[in-house]
Amino acid sequence: MKNVLLTGANGYIGQALARVLASRLATGGLQSLTLADHAFEHHAFHGAPGVHLVAGDLCDKTVLAEATSSTPDTVFHLASITSRRAEEDFSLGLRVNLQCTLALFEHLRRQGQCPVMVFSSSIGVYGAPLPDQVNDDTAPAPTLSYGTQKRMMELLLADYSRRGWLDGRAVRLPTVVARPATADTALSSFASMLIRALAEGSPWDCPIGPDGWMWLLSLPACTQHLMQAATVESSRLPEGRAWNLPAQRIQVSELITAMRSRYGPSADAGLSFQLKPALQQQFAQWPPLVTTIADRLGMCHDGDIVTLIERALAS
């Protein structure tokens, strides 16, 4: 890992991963770091030595050429239209999640260097109703456009890897917490909003009930897993090049109890439940999760609900 490209670098996860990568640049672990996104207003790495910011649309050939001008040996492809917007604007989701990603794949193929490609997929590849347990052999059956688009690119990434054009690793992210209120672009963002509302003791209407089950992972754990995914030997990867990241299965009522223990018995005083059936069905019925591949690769979730909360609110 010497010349790295990170797309979606100005997003919630992208900014955190950029900080991790920049620390390696400072210690000589990296030679160059290219951060690409639609815009970089007031970005922390403006003018930073060794960091190249590329602002623009990756579907634009000029922007794509600039983003890949270092001939990266490692690419973290996080750029996407998230679930809420992909569902509200099908054409936009299709353009960004499929067409721009394919354009990136093709440009890297023509460069002929077979870079490592860490692709941020999603548990959205699984759709409702879910089986009694999800593991790495559970067949994807997305029921949202976002999950469908992610699954399509997983398959294409596996084919590019089979042909030796990319060294692909598609990691399926669970709900990563705790997004700031300004990053409420994913349908699953209610989990972050719930954590922050309880921590602040602020009024909030929860769209899923106290019996809802979520798969949660903190932002620091997520960035750690993305970095691990980039360094795994190809021989250890699953045949389909895609696997589920580990996550804690936590019930809303358990989260409320833990937050009350941390912030006092009035932490949930402003909390009410205004259920949204579509969210309840798609995002609150997650069954037990078995992540055999991630476990074998040395990946693990935050460990317990207290640590999850601490990491989620510190990030």
Provide the token pair at 67.
Answer: 């983003």
Instruction: Name the DSSP letter for residue 123.
Output: G
Number of Cβ within 10 Å of residue 201's Cβ equals 16
Contacts of 93 (CB under 8 A, 6+ apart): 81, 85, 86, 87, 145, 146, 149
Which residue of the set 126, 146, 160, 263 is catalytic? 146
CA distance 218 to 304: 11
Number of Cβ within 10 Å of residue 192's Cβ equals 23
CA distance 245 to 223: 11
Active site residue 12: no
Number of Cβ within 10 Å of residue 272's Cβ equals 9
CA distance 171 to 38: 23
CA distance 117 to 95: 20
In the chain, helix, strand, coil percent, each to 5? Answer: 45, 20, 35
- Is 82 exposed, middle or buried, given 0-12, 13-18 or 19+ CB atoms closer than 10 A? buried
- Is 61 exposed, middle or buried, given 0-12, 13-18 or 19+ CB atoms closer than 10 A? exposed
Give the active site residues.
146
